[in-house]
Chains A and B, each alone.
Chain A
Amino acid sequence: QQQVKQSPQSLIVQKGGISIINCAYENTAFDYFPWYQQFPGKGPALLIAIRPDVSEKKEGRFTISFNKSAKQFSLHIMDSQPGDSATYFCAASIGWTSGTYKYIFGTGTRLKVLA
């Protein structure tokens, strides 16, 4: 119920291509779905996030598509660049519980964009 399943584990894309990472969840109480980007040797940083009342959110080359009925959401990176090579984590939050917001993270996708 509390899991967030992420796929694929790794992804290789040519420069200029589209990178797609998928996540699925079971708990319908989740109400916030962020994506975090992590470069080697660094901590994760928020990339983009969506709430379940919208089906899509776009910020530059990054888009989240959200399918509430299927309980799935995905990250699309358009015109992928070598600088996008990083590990990407999806996450879900159940909202305000026990005095704060907590995330359940997916297992991560290592993206490599070839020049």
Chain B
Amino acid sequence: NAGVTQTPKFQVLKTGQSMTLQCAQDMNHNSMYWYRQDPGMGLRLIYYSASEGTTDKGEVPNGYNVSRLNKREFSLRLESAAPSQTSVYFCASSEAPNARQKAYEQYFGPGTRLTVT
């Protein structure tokens, strides 16, 4: 049981290049999320997918697109990278809601450190 996995771990892009960050979870969770983490800014939600087949914008969606490929996988795409997108990106997942408190817990992957020059 690997939990949430992300690839790649590190990436350097030139301005204007595109790339896709991959995320997969093996916990059979319904919901998945993409965050970015910047110094002094905490974690900010980029996009999320409440369930397979649905995606929604979070707090900072501009410059990004997402695809919920199936229940396990949720990818984040940068179409034309900008230096402002230099950040650490985290994917997370959570169970479907029920009466248990665990339904609120989000499980995070190890992150992708992206540098755009």
Report A's interface with B, CB cutoff 8 A: 6, 9, 32, 34, 36, 41-46, 49, 51, 89, 93, 96, 98-103, 105-108
Contact = CB atoms under 8 A, between A and B. Distances in A.
8 contacts: A44-B43, A46-B106, A49-B105, A89-B43, A100-B50, A100-B51, A101-B106, A102-B58
B110 interface: yes
A107 B42 contact: yes
B13 interface: no
A49 B41 CA distance: 21
Contact of A101 (B56, B58, B104): B104
B108 to A, nearest CB: 3
B50 to A, nearest CB: 3
Given A6-B42, A9-B40, A44-B43, A103 B110 contact: no
A10 B58 CA distance: 27
B101 interface: yes
A41 B108 CA distance: 12
Given A43-B4, A96-B97, A101-B103, A89 B42 contact: yes
Nearest to A43: B108
The winner among B4, B58, B104 for most chain A CB atoms within 10 A is B104
Nearest to B94: A101
Contacts of A99: 31, 50-51, 54, 56
B97 A101 contact: yes
B31 A100 contact: yes
A105 B48 contact: no
Contacts of A51: 101
Nearest to B103: A101
A72 B29 CA distance: 31
B48 A43 contact: no
Nearest to A44: B108
A11 to B, nearest CB: 15
Contacts of B40: 9, 107-108
B72 interface: no
